[in-house]
């Protein structure tokens, strides 16, 4: 590793430069660095506190049965004194230091079979329901003081189908009711919430979280769950219109009681979906997350942003590594601003330097040397995310495969019959190679639309890594987590992106 600029950012005088150099050397010794990075509390009120017995939720107190159900046996947890949930405090502050061990453990989790010992019977469940497109339109036009009749007309004007939207809305609502009723019939306490009512208190109150919507709703539901013992379960409430990779098989949408029975009887397995954590350091960073789903930007928020914006350019202190208060279930994207986050910054006088499309940064993977990059952004995903955006960035079209094979055929004058089947087979096999298990504690890194020329190389384009460090050279960029939370990421900021199996999200695998 040539150099780790992060630790040199703070140097104003020789003395502190020396100090910085010392911390650099310290950093280079992985273990030291680990403890150094890991000691930090999670900002935003997400500090993991040492749990006491009284604080244990029914789910947590089911610990033994978890083991049978594929929960990582505590004795593997790197000789930390604690055992079971009581040790969470220590474990979670052991950051990097644990991550290697964690990863081994992660693999053992991955290999846990479908055989299920103990069952799972929550007593308090929060159901997070998505906002349907119909509700969205309604909010929008209500805000503009229009009636239902106007809404109908306006949708017609736009060529949208009012009754179609209404139908989808009813289907969703029916399915949500089915889930809620099934839970209540089992005397399970239920809180039905929308995005805006879904907060940390609600999560704390619940033994389990059920997302009722599509994958977007599942990402939202997961985004507030930092307790690795709290299961998050997805129900796809509009199977005809949404994919629902992260949800239970579609049949349980219509027969949710069956799913509940399987939970009770332990006829399922826990799936530990690995998540990515991010440490942010350097100059001009702002570890405050911004919710991109935010339903409304209020005037006062806006003025606040204006003020922040005003003084933005004067923020020049160097900050040490902050562990960001989010965990990425799908991916971390770094690049040109593609989010309402920018909106806030609009309000600062901004001097645009280059076209916004291209982002400039330096990248170091697995502590390798720093490489200059110019592209439309970087994507670092989990196994879960390998089916999402990362897949769309990296997959090839059969059209391209056909042309590539034709060219090779011509050059080598091969006797290669280019049948539709062959082309499709090759395309599928290539694209499938981009996918991997959500439980594997590794990240897939890819550069989006790399720009190679005399000035910028693009030797490093994609691959599996366990640590990615990115140093921003952008002017108006952000780091977006699961397309839902965004952080400023401008020149001078450095992100360390890695997987710590402590962060895994607990979900449920049910057979079809």
Q: How far is the CB of 339 from its own copies (least distance, A)?
A: 5
* Cα–Cα distance, 174 to 240 (Å, whole number): 14
Q: How far is the CB of 228 from its own copies (least distance, A)?
A: 25
Residue number, 19 or 338, with CB nearest to its own copies:
338
Q: How far is the CB of 378 from its own copies (least distance, A)?
A: 14
Q: Which of 163, 349, 420, 511 binds its own copies (CB under 8 A)?
A: 349
Q: Decide if residue 187 touches its own copies (CB under 8 A).
A: no
Stretch 226-245: interaction string toward its own copies, x if CB under 8 A:
--------------xxxx--
* Cα–Cα distance, 215 to 192 (Å, whole number): 18
Q: Decide if residue 249 touches its own copies (CB under 8 A).
A: no
Residue partners of 406: CB distance under 8 A and separation at least 6: 418
Q: Which of 78, 108, 340, 437 binds its own copies (CB under 8 A)?
A: 340
Q: Decide if residue 401 touches its own copies (CB under 8 A).
A: yes
Structure tokens at 343: 């909106």
Q: Decide if residue 140 touches its own copies (CB under 8 A).
A: yes
- Longest Cα–Cα distance of the chain, Å, equals 74
Cβ(310)–Cβ(366) under 8 Å? no
Structure tokens at 310: 């005003």
Q: Please give the residues from 404 up to 433 whose contact with its own copies meets the rule CB under 8 A.
A: 404-405, 407-408, 411-412, 414, 416, 422, 425-426, 429-430, 433
Strand partners for 213: 236
Q: Which of 300, 453, 511, 512 binds its own copies (CB under 8 A)?
A: 453
* Cα–Cα distance, 310 to 290 (Å, whole number): 18
How far is residue 426 CA from its own chain's centroid?
Answer: 30
* Cα–Cα distance, 66 to 58 (Å, whole number): 12
| CA 442 vs CA 106, 381, 465: distances in Å | 10, 9, 6
Structure tokens at 120: 């799972």
Stretch 361-380: interaction string toward its own copies, x if CB under 8 A:
--------------xx----
* Cα–Cα distance, 280 to 60 (Å, whole number): 31
Residue number, 92 or 446, with CB nearest to its own copies:
446
Residue number, 131 or 507, with CB nearest to its own copies:
131
Q: Decide if residue 185 touches its own copies (CB under 8 A).
A: no
Strand partners for 498: 277, 467
Q: Decide if residue 250 touches its own copies (CB under 8 A).
A: no
Residue number, 35 or 339, with CB nearest to its own copies:
339
Q: Decide if residue 492 touches its own copies (CB under 8 A).
A: yes
Q: How far is the CB of 441 from its own copies (least distance, A)?
A: 24
For the CA atoms of 324, 326, 330, 334, what is the dihedral angle to 10 degrees? -40
Q: Please give the residues from 82 up to 121 whose contact with its own copies meets the rule CB under 8 A.
A: none
């Amino acid at each position: 590793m040539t150099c780790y600029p992060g630790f040199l950012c703070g140097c104003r005088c020789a003395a502190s430069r020396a100090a910085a150099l010392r911390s650099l050397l310290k950093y280079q010794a992985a273990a030291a660095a680990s403890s150094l990075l890991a000691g930090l509390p999670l900002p935003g009120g997400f500090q993991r506190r040492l749990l006491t017995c009284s604080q244990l939720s029914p789910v947590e107190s089911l610990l033994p049965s978890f083991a049978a159900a594929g929960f990582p046996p505590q004795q593997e947890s790197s000789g930390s004194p604690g055992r079971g949930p009581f040790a969470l405090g220590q474990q979670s502050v052991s950051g990097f230091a644990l991550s290697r061990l964690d990863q081994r453990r992660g693999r053992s989790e991955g290999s846990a079979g479908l055989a299920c010992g103990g069952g799972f019977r929550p007593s308090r469940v929060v159901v997070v329901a998505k906002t349907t497109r119909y509700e969205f339109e309604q909010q929008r036009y209500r805000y503009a003081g229009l009636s239902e009749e106007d809404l109908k007309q306006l949708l017609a004007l736009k060529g949208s189908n009012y009754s179609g939207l209404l139908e989808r809305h009813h289907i969703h609502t029916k399915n949500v009711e089915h889930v809620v009723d099934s839970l209540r019939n089992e005397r399970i306490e239920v809180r039905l919430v929308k995005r805006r009512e879904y907060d940390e208190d609600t999560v704390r109150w619940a033994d389990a979280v059920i997302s009722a919507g599509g994958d977007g709703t599942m990402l939202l539901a997961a985004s507030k769950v930092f307790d690795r013992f709290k299961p998050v379960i997805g129900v796809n409430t509009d199977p005809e219109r949404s994919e629902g990779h992260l949800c239970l098989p579609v049949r349980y949408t219509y027969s949710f009681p069956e799913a509940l029975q399987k939970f009770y009887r332990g006829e399922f397995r826990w799936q530990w979906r690995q998540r990515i954590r991010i440490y942010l350091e350097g100059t001009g960073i702002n570890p405050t997350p911004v919710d991109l789903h935010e339903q409304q930007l209020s005037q006062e928020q806006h003025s606040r942003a204006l003020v922040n914006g005003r003084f933005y350019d004067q923020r020049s202190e160097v900050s040490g590594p902050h562990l960001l208060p989010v965990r990425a279930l799908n991916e971390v994207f770094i690049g040109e601003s593609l989010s309402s986050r920018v909106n806030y910054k609009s309000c600062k006088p901004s001097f645009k330097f280059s076209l916004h499309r291209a982002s400039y940064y330096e990248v170091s993977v697995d502590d390798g040397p720093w490489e200059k990059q110019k592209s439309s952004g970087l994507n670092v995903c989990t196994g879960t995310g390998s089916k999402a955006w990362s897949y769309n960035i990296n997959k090839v079209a059969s059209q391209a495969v056909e042309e590539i094979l034709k060219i090779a055929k011509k050059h080598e004058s091969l006797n290669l019959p280019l049948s539709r089947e062959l082309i499709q087979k090759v395309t599928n096999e290539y694209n499938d190679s981009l996918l991997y298990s959500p439980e594997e504690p590794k990240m897939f890194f890819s550069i989006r639309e790399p720009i190679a020329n005399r000035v910028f190389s693009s030797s490093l384009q994609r691959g599996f890594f366990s640590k990615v460090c990115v140093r921003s050279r952008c002017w108006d960029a952000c780091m977006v987590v699961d397309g839902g939370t965004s952080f400023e990421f401008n020149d001078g900021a450095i992100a360390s992106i890695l997987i710590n199996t402590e962060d895994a999200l607990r979900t449920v695998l049910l057979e079809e």
